[in-house]
Amino acid sequence: MRIPFGTISVTDKSRELVLDALNTNRLSSGKYVREFEKRFAELVGAKESVAVSSGTDADILALAVLYDFGAERGDEIIVPALSFVATGNAVLAAGFTPVFVDVDRKTLNIDPLRIDSAITKKTRAIMPVHLMGKPAEMDIINEIAGRHKLYVIEDAAEAHGAVYKGKNAGTLGDMGAFSLYVAHIISTVEGGIITTGNEAFAEVLRSLRSHGRACKCKSCVLNTASAYCEKRFGSNGSGDIRFIFERIGFSSKMNELEAAVGLGNLDIYNEILSKRRENLYYLLEKIRQFSPHIVSIEKEPYEEIGPHALPMIIQEGSRFTRKQLVAHLEKSGIDTRDLFTSIPTQCRGFAFTGHKKGDFPNAEYIGENGIHIGVHQDLGEEECDYIINTLEEFLTRHA
Ligand SMILES: Cc1ncc(COP(=O)(O)O)c(C=O)c1O
């Protein structure tokens, strides 16, 4: 049996829309992108959303918005030490300084009790990550942010479908940044999207994704219809707003072909989500029998985990290594991925931050002993049972 890590559902509707875009020669960001934004915002329950070209760009642009709201280059952003490296890269790419905080080994997420002591006069925002779709402790994080007047940007790259105390991921802070990369629950192949309840943030995001232009429209008539843009040459004689650059921008637009794939995904979102959730919750229940050797995350009664993947962490005292477990799973046809790294101490590019091994013991432990495997919509009970049997076989051998 083969259990690939991820999959992407390309629907007939997506094929139709892709062809339509190709046939009409309307390929740059246009009506499909706008439709995707509207429907994604509706799905999450956010007022507005802005589509970009990757989840990393979603993180970067959400952070860069803060320059319009009092932040200065070099200011500090608090992030968990354990995440996909994109979280740390994004802070630097946006021109800020990442301040890493260790995670809680049980939740994989930023340890809220360690945040206060990481705050300085230069802190501008907290960027929690809902790792593996498990919501971060947002009540505590928002309380700390409120007390210190900080913004909260959710890195919701892996958190499609995650719910915390009745509210969807992406609506729990000032902005939520999602990845729409292939293996994610809703995908545009490559892509990302930022959700927000604040129209002023959305306006700045639309400018940022298009080089920092003075344009603020949700949909550009030049792109969608080649029509005359009445706003372009304003009455104040200041010239063509397409060539007025109000802020340092990026080139991060989503294109129509990507949005076409995403729109098809949105049509079957509920099916995808419920299949993945069924798989994840089934595996989480079954995997308990492997404690204390292998543990995963636990679902709290006040949350739904966004079913991104199944994390597993080998515990101290086990008679096997991650390398051995991975070799067994891969030989048995089950794709594995490491459960990321402690960004400041296990990613070479971050050596300049001056942290040393041991500074983030929980993140480092998971970085050395964690893996994750797929729970996607092409898998069912038979595949889940195969995963459990394969683990059982391995553990019996290494008991
Ligand atoms: C937590 C986290 N943040 C950011 C990203 C970046 O997303 P992308 O690969 O779409 O750039 C990812 C990627 O999956 C991620 O897992």
Predicted confidence (pLDDT) at residue 217 exceeds the cutoff of 80: yes
Average pLDDT, the chain: 96
129, 89 contact by CB (below 8 A): no
Ligand 1 pocket test target in 54, 77, 82, 84 with most atoms within 8 Å of CB: 84
Predicted confidence (pLDDT) at residue 357 exceeds the cutoff of 70: yes
The atom number, within ligand 1, closest to the CA of 192 reads 10
Q: How confident is the model at residue 198 (pLDDT cuts 50, 70, 90)?
A: very high
pLDDT the model gives residue 307 = 98
Q: How confident is the model at residue 224 (pLDDT cuts 50, 70, 90)?
A: confident
pLDDT the model gives residue 50 = 98
pLDDT the model gives residue 301 = 98
Coil, strand, or helix at residue 214?
coil
pLDDT the model gives residue 234 = 76
Report the separation in Å between the CA atom of 292 and the middle of ligand 1, taken as the mean of its atom positions: 30
- Condensed to tens digits (0 to 9), the pLDDT of residues 259-268 reads 999 999 999 9
Q: Do domains 12-267 and 270-397 have the same CATH topology?
A: no
Report the separation in Å between the CA atom of 243 and the middle of ligand 1, taken as the mean of its atom positions: 31
Strands (E), the chain: 48-52, 76-80, 82-83, 97-101, 123-126, 151-155, 163-164, 167-168, 175-179, 192-196, 294-295, 303-304, 310-314, 337-338, 341-342, 370-373
Ligand 1 pocket test target in 56, 89, 160, 187 with most atoms within 8 Å of CB: 56
Q: How is 270-308 classified by DSSP, letter by letter?
A: HHHHHHHHHHHHHHHHHHGGGTTTEE-----TTEE---S
> Domain-by-domain residue ranges, the chain?
12-267, 270-397
Q: At what angle do helices 199-208 and 55-64 cross, to 10 degrees?
A: 120
User: Span 151-163, mean pLDDT?
Assistant: 98
The atom number, within ligand 1, closest to the CA of 90 reads 4
The CATH number that domain 12-267 falls under is 3.40.640.10
Predicted confidence (pLDDT) at residue 154 exceeds the cutoff of 70: yes
The atom number, within ligand 1, closest to the CA of 190 reads 10
- Condensed to tens digits (0 to 9), the pLDDT of residues 289-340 reads 999 999 999 999 999 999 999 999 999 999 999 999 999 999 999 999 999 9
109, 130 contact by CB (below 8 A): yes
Q: How far is the C-alpha of 380 from the C-alpha of 375, rounded, in Å?
A: 9
Ligand 1 pocket at CB < 6 A: 54-56, 59, 83-84, 86-87, 129, 155, 157-158, 179, 181, 192
Q: How far is the C-alpha of 50 from the C-alpha of 135, rounded, in Å?
A: 22
Report the separation in Å between the CA atom of 58 and the middle of ligand 1, taken as the mean of its atom positions: 9
Predicted confidence (pLDDT) at residue 41 exceeds the cutoff of 80: yes
pLDDT the model gives residue 56 = 98
Q: How confident is the model at residue 235 (pLDDT cuts 50, 70, 90)?
A: low
Q: How confident is the model at residue 229 (pLDDT cuts 50, 70, 90)?
A: confident
Instruction: Count Cβ neighbours within 10 Å for each residue of 317-332 and write b for 16 or more, e otherwise.
Output: ebebebeebeebbeeb
User: Span 174-200, mean pLDDT?
Assistant: 97
The atom number, within ligand 1, closest to the CA of 129 reads 1
Report the separation in Å between the CA atom of 148 and the middle of ligand 1, taken as the mean of its atom positions: 28
pLDDT the model gives residue 232 = 87
Fold of 270-397: Aspartate Aminotransferase, domain 1 (3.90.1150)
Report the separation in Å between the CA atom of 156 and the middle of ligand 1, taken as the mean of its atom positions: 9
